[in-house]
Amino acid sequence: MTSSTSVAISFERKQMVILGTEYAGEMKKGVFTVMHYLMPKAGVLSLHSSCNEGPTRLLIGDDEHVWTENGVFNIEGGCYAKTIDLSAEKEPEIFNAIRFGAVLENVIYDERTRVFIPNAKLPCIGGKPKNIVLLTCDAFGVLPPVAKLTPAQAMYHFISGYTAKIAGTEEGVTEPEATFSACFGQPFLVWHPVKYAQMLAQKMRENNVNVWLVNTGWNGGAYGVGKRISLKYSRAIIDSIHSGELQGAEYTNYGVFNLQIPTAVEGVPEKVLDPRRAWEGTEEEFAATISKLAGLFQANFKEYADQATAISLPLVLSSNF
């Protein structure tokens, strides 16, 4: 073993052995890895994703789903939430769900209250998706809060899986660090990432799905200079996606990454929507930062380029802003 913790899976013996940890999440992620093998083999797509339904966003599931010909179903049968710095103000649903029926790890709680999470959909199944949101947390402060993706761009960003490790979600991380995780769940993939991407592309074509890139990271500058995009702005963006507002919005091209960003979203300042306008440093600093991130994308994608099709390998990055 290369570390004190290991999770070993044998598909032949149908066994999983977890050593060196008492973290309950290893069990659900182990099962998720098994599903990432079995589901594509059966011709249906497994996704590291959350899923909700309708204008009030009934929660189907938080983390693991399968997309079939008939719709979507949740694998884990619940919501697995981190509780570090949890507050009723920031995440009221999760805060109030720490009651009877919840499985708790390293949490102080009041044993007298006993209610499940509100707005959950039971059973955990839903219809065919109309919108797919690829979430990222950009610590460089140059990706827009929301962009509408073409099918080719959707495949590119799905395979890339760019985000940042941030304090509170990764052990030993004290400041954000850029990272790429194929299909937004590389540790759990069994097949080549392109296989999942091609299946997603097929689902998108069959169902005429809109795909969005939503950045919840920094705006106005990189980590240490800019500020984290306000949660109320992110919620307003998600609301505008589900209401159909963004479907008919006016868009402008965002250079280098060649993204289409809306000129206006209700509840979000126009300046925030365009990272270049929000940038508080010099134009030269902005150009250097966005070029650096583009270079990281290109370097990362070289690993998959030989197996990527014309659908999943578009000319996403342009040289000029």
- Quick one: how far is CA 289 from the chain centroid? 23
Taking a C-beta distance cutoff of 8 angstroms, is the pair 255, 220 a contact? no
pLDDT, greater one: 156 or 54: 156
Concatenate the DSSP letters of all residues of 111-157 into one string: TT---PPTTB-SSSEE---SEEEEEE--TTS-S-SEEEEPHHHHHHH
Please state the rounded mean pLDDT for residues 200-226.
94
Please state the rounded mean pLDDT for residues 163-189.
80
Q: Is residue 68 part of a domain?
A: yes
Beta strand ranges found along 160-221 (DSSP E) = 162-165, 177-180, 210-215, 218-219
pLDDT beyond 60 at 314: no
Q: Is residue 93 part of a domain?
A: yes
Q: What token pair was written down for 104?
A: 């708790």
Do 98 and 210 have their domain in common?
Answer: no
pLDDT, greater one: 86 or 215: 215
Q: Give the burial class of 91: count Cβ atoms within 10 A of its Cβ; 0-12 exposed, 13-18 middle, 19 or more buried.
A: middle
Nearest to 60 by CA among 116, 117, 126: 126
Q: Is residue 20 part of a domain?
A: no
The pTM (predicted TM-score) of the whole model is 0.84
Lowest-confidence range among 110-119, 134-143, 161-170? 110-119
Q: Is residue 12 part of a domain?
A: no
Q: How many CB atoms lie within 10 A of CB 204?
A: 20
Please state the rounded mean pLDDT for residues 164-174.
68
The 10s digit of each residue's pLDDT in 235-265 is 999 999 999 999 999 999 998 999 999 999 9
Q: What token pair was written down for 130?
A: 């109309």
pLDDT beyond 60 at 320: no
Do 121 and 139 have their domain in common?
Answer: no
Question: Alpha helices, DSSP H only, in 5-150?
Answer: 25-41, 92-96
Quote the domain boundaries for residue 212: 131-301
Do 105 and 188 have their domain in common?
Answer: no
pLDDT beyond 60 at 72: yes
Distance CA 119, CA 130 (A): 20
Please state the rounded mean pLDDT for residues 148-159.
92
Do 62 and 164 have their domain in common?
Answer: no
Domains in the chain, number: 2
Q: What are the distances in angstroms from CA 242 to CA 94, 103, 142?
A: 22, 31, 25
Split at pLDDT 50, 70, 90, the class of 57 is confident
pLDDT, greater one: 220 or 23: 220
Q: Give the burial class of 211: count Cβ atoms within 10 A of its Cβ; 0-12 exposed, 13-18 middle, 19 or more buried.
A: buried
Distance CA 140, CA 98 (A): 34
Q: Is residue 83 part of a domain?
A: yes
Q: What token pair was written down for 58?
A: 């009934």
Q: Is residue 72 part of a domain?
A: yes
Across all residues in the chain, what is the average pLDDT?
87
Do 113 and 145 have their domain in common?
Answer: no
Q: Is residue 9 part of a domain?
A: no
Q: Is residue 51 part of a domain?
A: yes
pLDDT, greater one: 148 or 178: 148
pLDDT at residue 114, as a whole number: 46
pLDDT beyond 50 at 150: yes
Split at pLDDT 50, 70, 90, the class of 77 is confident
Gyration radius (Cα) of the chain, Å: 20
Distance CA 114, CA 224 (A): 41
Domain harbouring 182, CATH code: 3.90.228.20
Do 86 and 111 have their domain in common?
Answer: yes
Taking a C-beta distance cutoff of 8 angstroms, is the pair 200, 190 a contact? no
Beta strand ranges found along 208-307 (DSSP E) = 210-215, 218-219, 227-228, 251-254, 259-262
pLDDT at residue 112, as a whole number: 60
Q: Is 203 left (phi over 0), alpha (psi -120 to 50) or beta?
A: alpha
| Last residue of one domain, picked from the residues 126, 154, 184 | 126
pLDDT at residue 95, as a whole number: 81
pLDDT at residue 311, as a whole number: 44
